[in-house]
Amino acid sequence: MKMSEYRLPKLVENSTEFAAINDFIAENTIKLWKNSKESVIFVPFCEKFIRALQMEHRKGRIIRGFELIERNLASESKGLQLVDEKTGTSRGQRVSRLLIISNDGAERYYRKVEGLIANNKPRVLPLMIDADSDHLGELFFGEGKTVKLMLLEHKESVSAALLAIIKAFKNKTEEND
């Protein structure tokens, strides 16, 4: 699945920034690792995006660590499947989670993350932030903590984070003009 095939949350789709977000995604898509079959959106480090994520973290909407994220996504997937079976309908799949990946993982780790992405498309949109696991860990979990992978839950939170990215980069573009 190409990044352009992800259906963003309705809050984003209905925003005035929808075209800008699509452009950002198209311009910043990279391979997760050299020979990866999965692509991620590369997000330069920016304070507005970090502040938006920190706000969501304070609301308890960020999960840290591969195993916890994997279990959470598997449980949610099973629940969604049961609802679809019970109602006899299959709902359209939209992005409702952001997978935030540090930029300093080893290829072996990224191959593991690649499987997580592949198993949870299209509801999980992967972003690689230009920050290492030490920096991300300190920003979200305190001094001496590391984090290579976080999952932002809730479609409203995902929408807020995506819109924060665009606001940050629009401001940078305007500053450079």
Tell me the pLDDT tens digit for each residue of 111-135: 999 999 999 988 999 999 999 999 9
Residue 109 CB-half CA count within 13 A: 13
Please report whether residue 36 resides in a domain: yes
Structure-derived torsion over alpha carbons of residues 24, 156, 147, 28, reported in degrees to the nearest 10:
-10
Residue 165 covered by a domain: yes
Q: Tell me which residue has tokens 């997760």.
A: 32
The CA-atom distances, in angstroms, between 37 and each of 27, 116, 155 are 18, 12, 26
- What is the C-alpha separation between 133 and 146, in angstroms, rounded? 5
CATH of residue 61's domain is 3.30.1330.30
Query: Rounded to an integer, what distance in angstroms lies between the CA atom of residue 62 and that of residue 13?
Result: 23
Task: Tell me the residue range of the domain where 112 lies.
Answer: 3-169
In a domain, 148, yes or no: yes
Is residue 176, in this structure, part of any structural domain at all?
no
Distance of CA 157 to the CA centre of its chain: 11
What are the tens digits of pLDDT across the range 69-80? 999 999 888 876
pTM: 0.89
Structural domains counted in the chain: 1
